[in-house]
Amino acid sequence: MKRLWAPWRMEYILDENKHRKCLFCDVSKETKGRNNRTRDRKNLVLYRGKHCFIILNKYPYNSGHMMVVPYFHTPTFDGLSDDVLFELIKTVDKSVQILRKILKPDGFNMGLNFGKVAGAGMESHMHIHVVPRWTGDTDSMPIIAETRVMPEHLKKTYDKLVKSFR
């Protein structure tokens, strides 16, 4: 049996804040007040649409790893109206276009995980992962040195991207 070690995930596993009622619902409600941009930066929210928002993943697999999240709390597509589903996919497309322009990746991984056994870290609130990929962005570091090399700090990536979403 082969093992793939992912020690960078330990920070996520031990993060006490992830046990809140629903991280996505909590973050989506933090919109009131004049310090909205400050709260959004703290929470890594890049964009707020009518039915969904975009947030950078605090524990990314790659620079620019973001999630498109509907405001409506559901573990799957159940309960999402056609308007929400349409905006969800259009927002994924918007994310890809901006990532292409700003970070210039060679490709993308996108995914949905429904249920804990499918790998959902936030199984109660569905979201779509958009992960930019570059040729040669994975190497032996995670396996040999148990270290994920992130070429840019999360806040710097946020600052680069947020301007294009405004």
CA 45 vs. chain centroid, Å, equals 9
Burial 50-77 (b: 16+ CB within 10 A, else e): ebbbbbbbbbbbbbbbbbbbbbbeeeee
Q: Which residue out of 51, 127, 129, 153 is catalytically annotated?
A: 127
By three-state DSSP, how is residue 82 classified? helix
73 is catalytic: no
For residues 40 and 99, give the distance between their C-alpha atoms in angstroms, rounded to a whole number: 19
What residues act catalytically? 127
